[in-house]
Structure 1
Amino acid sequence: MFGDLKYPKGFTAFDYVNPEAPVGGQINMTAPSWTYNQNPQTFNTFNSFILKGDAPPRMERCFDSLMVRAFDEPDAVYGLVAESALVSDDGNFVTFKIRPEARFHDGSILNAEDVAFSLNTLKEKGHPYISQSIQEMVSATAPDEHTVTVAFSGNHSRQLPLLIATLPIFSKDYYTRYNFEASTLTPPLSSGPYTVGRYEIGRYIEYRKVEDYWANDLPVNKGHYNFEIIRFDFFRERQATFEAFKKGTLTFHEEFSSKTWATEYNFPAFTEGRVIKREFAIGLPSGAQGWFLNTRRDKFSDPRVREALGYAFDFEWSNAALFYDQYIRTQSYFENSEMKAVGLPSDAELALLAPYRDDLPEAVFGEAITQPVSNGSGQDRTLLREASLLLREAGYFRRGEQLIGPDGNQLVMEFLSSSPTFERIVLPYVKNLSLLGIEASFRVVDPAQFQKRVNDFDFDIVGHRFSLTPTLGSTIQNLWTSEAAETFGSYNLSGIRLPAVDDLVEKAINASSRQEMVTAARALDRVLRAGYYWVPQWFKASHTVALWDMFGIPTDMPAYDFPVETTWWVDTEKAARIGK
């Protein structure tokens, strides 16, 4: 998006891979991340690119795209199905030339008609995270078998053509016979490096490497896709996942429990050295993780109420008593990046914020909002008193042990979750809320129901983590804009509807330089933080992983991704040494 590409024409492989890595073997894991309609705890469909159903993570590995990311650059893409891309002088058209050797897994040709069909279908029928992000794509046409022209509105972001280039490509012929919008357990025809192998619904899925994959020898694929089988297992409970790893059923495990990381790696395979722990630095923004408050519900419509709820969460106590001091408090939607707002706004930020001064809280124009720091007791009376004052200003009053709102009813709220793992964290928070007279509860539902309720915005409070890219693009429209607030399945969980946010999102994604983008992001961060749409949680700037010591790992891991499944490999000597 900004500046020159790192890799020149004729490069042979990305710097962060081992081009000589052997191919073979298997990695067994649970999904540490997922996207679209994917569910890490179960699955009931193989259609991952619509809102309906629960798909297994990594279905996207089965599909090729026009271009692919280089993860040692913030946003650059290089040709896969496309052998070239020509951008018009005004930036409103991109013409892709399709490699004539591109093939689907049944041997049929992947041509320009398939690409055009895919892009138009995703805009019309795709998951909201895709369809809402590509609205400024006007059309995709195929003037001949090997040429695709994508037209944009002129109001599109600089990032949109890059996003378009990385979307999955479907077979037009296949989807004239099958309904694209159907939830189905028939593995679809695809063209990528993997295909669906063995599976048992809701228990496991194996992705099997395609032996005669047409693009094996392209520079963007050298050193990639080294596992013969990538297997994902599904568990409802965190402890069951950990027990499976201890036994060696899982061979790779990203650890998200600070308690487990600190106290439970004492099992025989670890003490014998067959299992090891590693930490890998994260170069991406750490992710906006928190409890998101659904402002579509009247009880959360007043920002004073939302701010008060933040005073009741004692992070300092939680970090010491529950997290073994492994975390840092999240303050920003852009934590661990230069886009985080700090201190007073700069002149450039003020220029962006000035048109909305009458509509924004004065706090936006002062020091960036930070979360209160407790005394670490777990029940900081000073902070709870601040919360009570804010609630009183919002029209609430005490009736005995109950906090009564302007509607005459007690303030009642439910934390929705798909896993009991967070119960030990939420229950102390619930206790503090009860001291304010609020009746709060923690409810665990099955993964499919959880996803349905989140998609339908049928919740009070839900915990979530958004991963952001170092260069902002159209996808952030799905997180904070007014249109996304009204779109079922969007990630605007809080229901944020502010003209200032809509405008700053557009300025961030349409920036003509990285500095302009950073300035807009910082201004946006100030507005979002001053709205108290969430209770921020915590972060650490590293991946904490445990693995059976059987893998080869590239010397240089890229700054902008953690591509374990695509760039690691099985080291047969190591595997033999530990009996794998």
Structure 2
Amino acid sequence: MVKRGWCRLVAGLLVALCALPAVAAPAIALGYAPKYPPNFAHFDYVNPEAPKGGRLVLPAIGSFDTLNPFTLKGDKESGVGALVLETLMAQSSDEPFSQYGLIADDEALAPDGLSVTFHINPKARFQNGERITAADVAFSFNTLTRDPAASPNYRFYWTDVSRVVVLDASRVRFDFKRKNAELHMILGQLPVFARSWIPKGKTLADVATSVPVGSGPYRLAVYDLGKRTEFTRDLHYWAANLPIRRGMYNFDRIVFRYYQDDTARLEAFKAGEFDLASENVAKNWARSYRGSKFDDGRIVKKELPHSNGAGMQGFVFNLRNPLFHDRRVRQALVQSFDFEWVNKQLFYGQYRRSPSYFTNSELAASGLPTPDELALLEPLRKALSQEVFGPAVVPPVTDLSIGNREQLKAARRLLFKAGWRYEGGRLVDQNGRPFVFEFLAFSRAYERIVAKWQKDLAKIGITLNVRVVDPAIFQRRTNDFAYDMTVVVYGASQSPGNEQLNFHSCAAARTPGSNNWAGLCDPAVDALLQNFVHFDDRRQLVAASRALDRVLRAGYYVVPNWYLPYHRVAWWNRFGQPAILPKFYDPTGWAIETWWAKPAAKQER
């Protein structure tokens, strides 16, 4: 193992493994120095003196039929994965990608970069009192990557692990098929559950309604399948005094209430059925979060800034449908979407257009390629569109004073070049088949958003149908890629890596349940994806992200949507919050991890 008590550069990655007090742990950062020193007391964005007690009630949309967060099938419960299960390492929320010890109190990357060894904290315990061992870690990994019932995303995420070896009760080693710049760190995100959770001979599918035996700060106390879950704070939580947990998980009880639609959720919030609303609908934020309870301060309404990479939300083309094989067709449909009108008329001007797969971060491409980007792109020039080597592709902008007539004319020209023609007022291909496709959605909100686009497409002879299904059916159809077009989010971390293969690789395109919603299979893209597996420092990672971004944007695989550089959040005024916001966070996770109940609220509730 790498010795404690010193820091060094390993394989070009700054990996700090430093001596700490018995309750602390090593710090690991990908390509930069970790923020927190070996003797840090707590994260800056928490209140270490936060009182314990009280209750936090949160909403969830839809339903759930499984307590197992790992399977491909089933509607998942909202709290088990975050509250009951712990990971090998814990990630801070004010650094791009730094981890600090949790279940593992030491991590050693081999000098050749082909294996990593974790040492299990001797204090780590499951909620049944049993010690967490290396065998539990190996069992968790093998289950998630080999069990046929598990989501394939785990398999893709850790695809470069060849095997896991239990060295003794306290040490487990992961061997790699090849060097992978982030693999030792993303293995730190492995959720660990007890071997006793899954009886011998059974699979994840057999424990759908059985709570994983975890080691987290909360236990599942009560559940009403599909309607409600309640978690209670584990008074014997083994990690409560670690610096990475000090001032966190302060509520005695956390409750999730399930609502079938967004209207019911909003009215329930204003009636006081739950405590925190993170709003995703611009109309609601502009018109529904008002009234006497907001005026007199009983409910707080705020727009909270964040530094989260917004990634790309968009209407994705399913390339498995031959209708979308021609790049010019996809570009024409991108041209025809009038974001400026939608933003003004439906979103109250609140949004910004998403230009990039790494929106709102330094990873997004802009202007002409830099020398670092060209070094990655030039070897693939013959296989790439020449647009890749010019200014980064950005969505068209409509002049609201004259409308999107020019964009529609440009779209029609592209369609004609792609071989489409008019016949009887409809756009048809060379065989006389009309241009018709379906947009699959899980919320009726998208009917309003897409209505203007439907009318504009009809002007150039295209029929767009909208089908809204309930969330469970939507999930099944997206898992099976059974759609022409739907809305997706390509999430972006501050340190992209193996998840990019799950988004864009040929292997993922062929795997049901993966996140390659577009069905993209391009050898040039596959070649670029290798740069997320092998890099030496953050500069190389930034160049790889921008190069991939250019290629994807020039491929027109999505109709770019919109994003916000802040969270729209409202909450009942009975909670305390730390003085400092994290940089990278979601409102629900922020509340669960760092809020506390005010003393009066504890008594009232």
Query: Is TM (by shorter chain) over 0.5?
Result: yes
Indicate if the aligned counterparts of 2:43 and 2:243 stay in contact, CA closer than 8 A.
Answer: yes
SS in 1 for 2:259: coil
Give how far 1:574 is off: 5.9
Residue 413 of structure 2 aligns to which amino acid in structure 1? L
Which residue matches 2:210?
Answer: 186
Report which stretch shifted further, 528-537 or 476-485: 476-485
Q: Work out whether 1:82 is the aligned partner of 2:104.
A: yes
Distance 2:502 2:93 in 1: 23
SS class of match (2:206): coil
SS of equivalent to 1:459: coil
**Whole-Å separation in 2 of the counterparts to 1:430 and 1:236:** 27
Quote the Cα distance in structure 2 between the aligned partners of 1:205 and 1:377.
Answer: 51
Deviation by residue 1:517-543 (Cα, 9 ceiling, x = unmatched): 111111110100000000000111001
| Counterpart residue number, 1:12 | 41
1:526 to 541, 550, 554: 550
Q: CA deviation at 1:495?
A: 1.0
Percentage of matched positions with identical amino acids: 39
Q: CA deviation at 1:24?
A: 1.5
Map of 2:27 onto structure 1:
none
Q: Are the equivalent residues in 1 in contact too, given 2:307–2:583 (CA < 8 A)? A: yes
What one-letter code is carried by the residue in structure 1 that aligns with 2:187? I
- Residue in 1 that maps onto 2:230: 206
Structure-2 residue corresponding to 1:44? 65
Give runs of aligned pairs for residues 147-226 of structure 1, distance below 5 A: 147-156=171-180, 158-177=181-200, 178-182=202-206, 184-226=208-250
Contact 2:32–2:538, Cα closer than 8 Å, also in 1: no
| Aligned counterpart in structure 1 of residue 410 of structure 2, from 360, 369, 386 | 386
Q: Work out whether residues 197 and 206 of structure 1, in 8 Å CA contact, stay in contact via their aligned partners in 2.
A: yes
User: Contact 1:236–1:419 at 8 Å: present in 2 too?
Assistant: no
> Where do 1:407-422 residues align within 5 Å?
407-422=431-446
CA separation of 1:195 and 1:527: change in aligned 2, threshold 3 A: same
Task: Show the counterpart of 1:35.
Answer: none
Q: CA deviation at 1:186?
A: 2.3
Q: Describe the superposition over 1:470-521 as per-residue Cα deviations: whole angstroms up to 9, x where unpaired.
A: 1112122111111111111111111111122112222134221111111111
Asked whether the equivalents of residues 509 and 517 of structure 1 are also in contact (C-alpha less than 8 Å), the reply is: no
Matching residue of 1:540: 564
Q: How many pairs were matched up?
A: 569
Contact 1:171 1:190 in 2 (8 A): yes
TM-aligned CA deviation for residue 377 of structure 1: 6.2
Q: TM-score, normalized by length of structure 1?
A: 0.95
1:24 match: 53
- Contact persistence 2:55–2:602 (CA under 8 A): no
Letter in 2 for 1:477: L
CA apart distance, 1:208: 2.3
Which stretch shows the higher mean deviation, 20-29 or 565-574? 565-574
Q: Given that residues 113 and 179 in structure 2 are in contact (C-alpha distance below 8 angstroms), is that contact kept between their aligned partners in structure 1?
A: no
Does residue 568 (structure 1) correspond to residue 592 (structure 2)? The answer is no
CA distance in 1, matches of 2:602, 2:288: 24
* Aligned AA (2:49): E
Distance, in Å, in 2 between the alignment partners of 1:315 and 1:161 is 41
Match of 1:510 in 2: 534
Say whether residues 1:476 and 2:500 are aligned partners.
Answer: yes
Q: How many Å apart are 1:423 and its aligned residue?
A: 1.6
C-alpha displacement of 1:8: 2.1
Q: Specify the SS of the correspondent of 2:195.
A: coil
**Which ranges of structure 1 fall in alignment gaps of 5 or more residues?**
32-39
In the other structure, the counterpart of 2:471 is 447
The one-letter amino acid paired with 2:42 is A
Gaps spanning 5+ residues in structure 2: where? 1-29
Q: 2:81 aligned to 26, 36, 60, which one?
A: 60
Equivalent residue runs for 1:392-431 within 5 Å: 392-431=416-455
Once the 2 structures are TM-superposed, how far is the Cα of residue 376 of structure 1 from its aligned partner?
2.3
Amino acid at match of 2:39: G
1:533 & 1:366 partners in 2: Cα distance? 18
One-letter amino acid matched to 1:48: P
Q: How many angstroms apart in 1 are the aligned matches of 2:430 and 2:309?
A: 40
Q: How many angstroms does 1:379 deviate by?
A: 5.2
Does 2:391 align with 1:370? no
Distance 2:354 2:402 in 1: 18
Deviation at 1:362, TM superposition (A): 1.1
1:286 to 280, 289, 310: 310
Within 5 Å, give how 1:105-124 maps onto structure 2: 105-124=127-146
Identify the residue that residue 141 of structure 1 maps to in structure 2: 165
After superposition, where does 1:192-341 map in structure 2 within 5 Å? Answer: 192-341=216-365
Instruction: Confirm or deny: 8 A CA contact 1:237 1:420 kept in the other structure.
Output: no
**Per-residue CA distance 1:161-212 (angstroms, 9 max, x = gap):** 1111111112113323442233612223222112222222222222222221
**RMSD of Structure 2 on Structure 1 (CA):** 1.7
| Letter of the structure 2 residue corresponding to residue 570 of structure 1 | A
* 8 A Cα contact 2:104 2:121, kept in partner: yes
CA deviation string 1:384-441 (max 9, x = no partner)? 1111111111111111232112342111111111111222111111111111211111
**How many Å separate the matches in 2 of 1:190 and 1:520?**
37
